[in-house]
Amino acid sequence: MLFDLPAIADLSDSALTQRLQAALDHKTKPLGALGRLEALALRIGQILGSERPRLEAPQMLVCAGDHGLAARGVSAYPSDVTWQMVENFLAGGAAVSVLARQHGLALTVVDCGVARAFAPRAARPGQPQLVLKSVAPGTTDASVGPAMTEAQCAQALANGREVVRSLPGNALLLGEMGIGNTSVASLLLARLCGVPLEQGIGAGTGLDAAGLARKRAVLQQALQANAGATTPLQALAALGGFEVATLTGAVLQAAAERRVIVVDGFITSAAVLVASALAPQVLQRCVFAHRSGEPGHTRMLAHLQAEPLLDLGLRLGEGSGAALAWPLLESACALLRDMASFASAGVAQQGS
């Protein structure tokens, strides 16, 4: 597959890490008393290359696409919900819309391949924007063959890179929408991590027992129909969705630009899984927001050696978990930047 993989540098910098850790250790608190917030502050300082990190113009990127697999009944909702939810994002009524407004996150929605033609609309200050990057009106049915051609997958990857290049700021929060896309995440987990398919399949949008059995059977067919797609990009094209491929490109570009990448749930983690298989340094830039209620997400996080910030039983997607975790990143930066040291505050240290 012809895809221009950006250069992503190794962020390992022992001198910076030592300075950051020393700064945290000498704040006016018992050693390690801020727990995982200290590790979060250290991570953000490493990503931004600063002992006084500041998160600027954070961007919530929600990528949307439809899936041929949805016609096989792998979701409790019809495919029309994808385009209807895109309109809901733009109208400000979805969960991620509410949370983005609350936390001052600029919201960009990308039509990566929704089975609906959206009219172009001008971006307005302070309002969500729609970016039209549709590769095709939905993927084909992966249970009978590749969901995308290699050319389509390469185009979606390039689209993701292009969208990120157009966005300001130094932090990118990942979101998605696509009826059937938990199936994509389960398939990529099985193919790229070797997790047995049945361990990575959940109820998604709310399937009952019969629906779950149907979903397992359809996804097994998809793995068999695409048995030769074993490399990360082959698997993405054969099993993935346009929104997952676009997110993968976005992650690679954000990593190359040294942005903080806030990963939402199961589907956005699948995009990071592919991106990190292509460039392991991607994971140095990632903060994992939460552990989804989808069983496959726990297994994917374990494969990525990622410890999420929150565990609220969320299974909505959209970027909702990333938005909920965002204040923790802001707090971690503020504490590292603004909290007094023992020396500056004239406070005696332990044992002194």
Catalytic site residues?
318
The Cα 51–Cα 60 span in angstroms is 25
Q: What is the CA radius of gyration of the chain?
A: 20
Q: What angle do CA 146, 294, 242 make, to 5 degrees?
A: 30
Sort 293 into a burial class: Cβ within 10 Å, 0-12 / 13-18 / 19+: middle
- Closest by CA position to 201, among listed 316, 313, 300, 305: 300
Question: What does DSSP assign to residue 60?
Answer: E
Enter the tokens of residue 96.
Answer: 């991620």
Residues 6+ apart with CB under 8 A from 38: 24, 32, 332
For strand 260-263 and strand 129-132, is the pairing parallel, antiparallel, or unpaired? Answer: unpaired
Residues 11 and 47: beta-carbon distance below 8 Å: yes
Q: What are the CA-CA distances from residue 133 to residues 155, 161, 244 (Å)?
A: 9, 11, 13
Residues 239 and 222: beta-carbon distance below 8 Å: yes
Task: Give me the sign of the Cα torsion angle 66, 69, 70, 76.
Answer: negative
- Report which secondary-structure segment, H or E, holds 300: helix 295-304
- Report which secondary-structure segment, H or E, holds 114: none
- For residue 177, what are the β-bridge partners? 64
The Cα 111–Cα 86 span in angstroms is 8
- For residue 286, what are the β-bridge partners? 261
Residues 105 and 173: beta-carbon distance below 8 Å: yes
